[in-house]
Amino acid sequence: MSKEARYGLLYSEYEFSPYLRVPFEKFALVVVCFPLLAFVFCVSYSVLFNFENATYTHCQVYNMLPSISAAIGNFSPQREIWQGAIALHAAPRFYIAFEYLQHHYSVLFPQDLWIGQIAFFLNVVENVALITLSFFTSSKFYAVHEKAFITFILGSEMYMILTCILQSRYKKQSRVSLKWKKRFLLTNMLCIFTAVYFFMRHNSMCEPYVYTLFALSEYIVVLSNMAFHLTAYFDFENKDLVVYKHGVALTER
């Protein structure tokens, strides 16, 4: 073999040898842990150190828990911790959305691909809305925060519903993943309705603890949404996220 050929072979191996290989299950878990741990910290810190201000409402009745908007946006260091976590997890979330789109191309029948494309769009909208409502807090930018929050709820609900429909139409279904997705979706929808009910009741009747029930419903909405996204653990089982010199790829293990 000539010197040039040996050099070319070595260069090719260098160019395409992986720098890092991570099981996708662990990657998905880490991505979800950023907002999860930040959420737990923000609520806990607000209860421990900002209790009166965090649980105060116009009704001036006793409450035990702050709303999510108050916990993540009204106080420091909670606000900075939450925004940092959302910033760190944003790019991986967009990447996972793109991988789901590619995944749908391989597991869906041609007539269903358009549903996968809409699901991808909704996934991106959900992530953009989450970033927006996190950095435009309700205390300083209420109008923007409110619109971003509504967009996040609508986008996430439609995405979860479409994803469940998509998985039921796969060429080869993943029963475990679909089962958990349906459970988290139903939990999420139920708690949205209860949150709306308790919020309206609090505003109209100003009863003690009702706002606490609203806040608790909000928490479950957020946690069930995170859990739904964590089911990527099952969808990309036995796959690795591989980092090369010129990019990343999802490969079979």
pLDDT tens per residue across span 8-45:
433 344 455 667 788 888 899 999 999 999 999 999 99
Distance between CA 45 and CA 71 in Å, rounded? 8
Residue 81 pLDDT exceeds 60: yes
Q: Between β-strands 239-244 and 20-23, what pairing exists: parallel, antiparallel or unpaired? A: antiparallel
Q: For residue range 101-148, list pLDDT tens digits in order.
A: 998 888 888 898 999 999 999 999 999 999 999 999 888 888 998 999
Global pTM value: 0.88
Average pLDDT, the chain: 88
Structure token digits, residue 124: 């991106």
Burial environment of residue 222 by CB neighbours within 10 A (0 to 12, 13 to 18, 19 or more): buried
Strand arrangement of the beta sheet that strand 247-252 belongs to: 20-23, 239-244, 247-252
Q: What is the mean pLDDT of residues 221-240?
A: 92
Which two tokens mark 41?
A: 């910290």
CA 202 to chain centre: 28
Angle formed at CA 236 by CA 235 and CA 238, multiple of 5 degrees? 125
What percentage of the chain's residues is helix, strand, coil (to nearest 5)? 75, 5, 20
What pLDDT, in 10s, does the model give residues 135-188? Answer: 998 888 889 989 999 999 999 999 999 999 999 888 777 789 999 999 999 999
- The pLDDT, as a whole number, for residue 148 is 94
Over 90: is that where the pLDDT of 253 sits?
no
Tokens of 34: 């950023």
Dist CA 172 CA 107 (whole Å): 7
Q: Which residues contact 5 (CB under 8 A, 6 or more apart)?
A: none
Q: Give the pLDDT mean for 202-212.
A: 93
- What confidence score (pLDDT) does residue 138 get? 82
Task: Give whole-number Cα distances, 230 to 26, 152, 240, in Å.
Answer: 10, 17, 16
Q: Report the candidate in 105, 121, 123 with the shortest Cα–Cα distance to residue 113.
A: 105
Q: What pLDDT is stored for residue 16 in this prediction?
A: 57
Q: What distance, in Å, lies between the first and last C-alpha atoms of the chain?
A: 33
- Judge contact between 244 and 16, C-beta under 8 A: yes
The Cβ of residue 90 has, within 10 Å, a number of other Cβ atoms equal to 18
Beta bridge partners of 104: none
Q: What pLDDT shows up at residue 18?
A: 66
